Structure 1
Amino acid sequence: MPRVNVPLNTPTRAGIALTTTPGDATNHHVMVNDGRTAILIKNTGSTVARVVTFKISKKVDGQAVTARTASLVAGEQKLFGPFSVEEYGGRMEIDVAHAELTLTPIKL
């Protein structure tokens, strides 16, 4: 199945209600990346740390580059980014280890 699209939240001076996407550990995710996007990831679980992986699309000498991973303890949230388009691509792929991770991309 195709990756789940994660819609961007674009702030305004009047403020916006953030749209959060629940994690899909089977199909994983993709979001638009223009180099000025950050993503808030939250582990909504109460007992176990969970891992998120940001895929790097760039290759060096034809070899894939190791993806960036981060672990979030139970209840923790972290803001990641921005991500270089050259390294992560215009359609950045994000893998989550469990549905307890939620994703909220924010255009800067």
Structure 2
Amino acid sequence: MAILNAQKVVIGGLQPTYAAAAGGGDQAPVGEKLLLIVRNGDATSKTVTLATPGTVGDLAVADAVQAIPASGTAMFALKASAFRDPVTGRAAITYSAVTSVTVAVVQLP
């Protein structure tokens, strides 16, 4: 599992650096104005899952799951209230497959 670092978007813009998605999943910081960007450069759809470790009462909150079509891109708001793992303090991200999948975390100003 790789730990992704946030890249700050400045007023003049940012061309984020993307990393290959890790086969065992990735971890990302959580907080206000943080976005996870996932690009699928493969010819087949991929599914991205963000674990939601919280509960409401005694009911588990469903994980955030997004299918990304071939050559598609998805973005996730990395809200601490939804995705902060109580042990690591980060979001846990997994992928159905990682072939041609790249990821970046950006922090908006």
> When the two structures are superposed, what TM-score results if normalisation uses the length of structure 2?
0.82
* Off by >4 Å, runs of 4+ in structure 1: none
Number of residues paired by the alignment?
103
- Unaligned runs of 5+ residues in structure 1 are none
- Unaligned runs of 5+ residues in structure 2 are none
Is the partner of 2:7 in helix, strand or coil? Answer: coil
- Shift in Å, 1:17: 3.4
Q: Confirm or deny: 8 A CA contact 1:24 1:98 kept in the other structure.
A: no
User: Is residue 80 from structure 1 mapped to residue 76 from structure 2 by the alignment?
Assistant: yes
Provide the residue aligned with 2:38 in structure 1.
41
Identical positions, percent: 15
Provide the residue aligned with 2:103 in structure 1.
103
- Cα deviation per residue 1:32-90 (whole Å; 9 max; x = unaligned)? 111221111111102x1100001112123344322110001110112222x33122114
**Alignment match of 2:63 (pick from 42, 67, 76):** 67
Is the partner of 1:9 in helix, strand or coil? Answer: strand
Deviates more, 1:91-100 or 1:61-70: 61-70
Which letter maps to 1:95? T
RMSD, aligned α-carbons: 1.7
Deviates more, 1:3-12 or 1:56-65: 56-65
User: Is residue 53 from structure 1 mapped to residue 52 from structure 2 by the alignment?
Assistant: no
